Amino acid sequence: MPVTFRPFKRAARYVTVAALCAASAWAHAAATIKADSLTIGSDLTYPPYAYLDAGKPAGFDADFSRLLAGKLSLQPVFVDTRFPDLILGMRARRFDTVASALYVTPERAKLIDYVPYLKTGSSLLVLANSAYAPKGPEALCGKRVASIKGASWTPKLQKVSRETCQTKGQGEIKVLEFPTAPEALMALRSQAADVMMEDAAVAHSMLSQTQNAVKVSSTALLYPVVIGLGINKDAQELQAQLKKALGEARASGEYAALLSRYGLEAPTDADVQAALAGPRQ
């Protein structure tokens, strides 16, 4: 072939590469608030899932978000937001996704979509020297329960209070809601609350944080739940990209290694379906 044709082929190849890069950038722009970034809403007061370590986001949710963002060739940008405002912030386009130990519930599924990635449950905490050691919700009648605001177990406790405690004349379960988990823990430690309900992994991390000034009194996971990334319902393209990134992280073994590092588990399809269906009546 004549040499004079080679520059044209080289130029065509450059045009093709440029077109592919432009298409990739367009895809990211169409899926995220910023074309080169994955903006993540997270309550960075919630170890071991999300917290600040030397001023930088740390914990499972931060590591998981960085892993997926890397698979998408996006820069992870974290927006520290208190838990009750996360879904509102995402729906207002302040961030692309929520990664903050967000439980999958039928009520939330009416507002947002999910990319499920963890399963856990809740535990009860009391002072280490307390003779009161509740095992489950029915033992909370007449007690003050400290909790992070907007927790999925609050309506469940209120149901137990109405249908069990009050019908037996045992007094209501009074849920005291706080903006952050540390504030709820402070209420327990100052005896402004009798017991604290918290995510199981978070609760167990509080034992070492407080040098065992508190203890876990429940002996089994309460209200087992699935945790997922929150996605706006009109962000199907981003949801598909995140699911693909998670699949790649599974295949590479990086996801399993991350779960193992934190002692956590991945949810099964049955777990996800059960979470979306809600508790049986």
Residue 136 falls within a domain, yes or no?
A: yes
26-50 pLDDT tens trace: 344 347 998 899 999 999 999 999 9
pLDDT at 2: 40
Q: Is 125 exposed, middle or buried (0-12, 13-18, 19+ CB in 10 A)?
A: buried
Residue 163 falls within a domain, yes or no?
A: yes
Mean pLDDT computed over 171-186: 96
Give the least confident one: 10-19, 80-89, 117-126, 210-219.
10-19
Rounded-to-integer distance, Cα 166 and Cα 232, Å? 39
Do 120 and 223 touch, CB atoms closer than 8 A?
Answer: no
Q: Which of 178, 208, 223 is the last residue of a domain?
A: 223
User: In what helix (H) or strand (E) does residue 195 lie, and over which residues does it extend?
Assistant: strand 195-199
Rounded-to-integer distance, Cα 52 and Cα 34, Å? 24
Residues 217 and 251 in one domain: no
pLDDT at 17: 44
Residue 3 falls within a domain, yes or no?
A: no
The number of folded domains in the chain is: 2
> How far is residue 67 from each of residues 19, 127, 212, 256, measured CA to CA in Å?
27, 37, 33, 12
Residues 107 and 126 in one domain: no
**Which structural domain, as residue segments, surrounds residue 130?**
121-223
pLDDT score of 23 more than 70: no
Residues 96 and 173 in one domain: no
HEC readout, 58-109: ECHHHHHHHHHHHHCCCEEEEEECCHHHHHHHHHCCCCCEECCCCECCHHHH
pLDDT at 279: 66
Give CA torsion, residues 14, 15, 20, 26, to 10 deg: 130
Residue 4 falls within a domain, yes or no?
A: no
HEC readout, 33-56: CCCCEEEEEECCEECCCEEEECCE
Residues 106 and 145 in one domain: no
Residues 107 and 129 in one domain: no
pLDDT at 67: 98
Residues 61 and 146 in one domain: no
pLDDT at 11: 42
Do 8 and 1 touch, CB atoms closer than 8 A?
Answer: no
pLDDT at 278: 78
Give CA torsion, residues 219, 225, 227, 228, to 10 deg: 170
Residues 143 and 218 in one domain: yes
pLDDT score of 140 more than 90: yes
Rounded-to-integer distance, Cα 137 and Cα 146, Å? 13
Per-residue pLDDT band at 12 (split at 50, 70, 90): very low
63-85 pLDDT tens trace: 999 999 999 999 999 999 999 99
Q: Which of 208, 223, 238 is the last residue of a domain?
A: 223
pLDDT at 148: 95
Residues 142 and 200 in one domain: yes
- Contacts for 18 with CB less than 8 Å, ≥ 6 apart: none
pLDDT score of 61 more than 70: yes
Residue 16 falls within a domain, yes or no?
A: yes
pLDDT at 116: 97
Residue 2 falls within a domain, yes or no?
A: no
The mean pLDDT value of the chain amounts to 89
Give the least confident one: 151-155, 189-193, 221-225, 250-254.
221-225
CATH number of residue 219's parent domain: 3.40.190.10
- Contacts for 206 with CB less than 8 Å, ≥ 6 apart: 125, 185, 198, 214
pLDDT at 25: 40
Residue 258 falls within a domain, yes or no?
A: yes
Q: Which of 200, 223, 246 is the last residue of a domain?
A: 223
Per-residue pLDDT band at 280 (split at 50, 70, 90): low
Per-residue pLDDT band at 264 (split at 50, 70, 90): confident
* Bridge partners (DSSP) listed for residue 77: 39
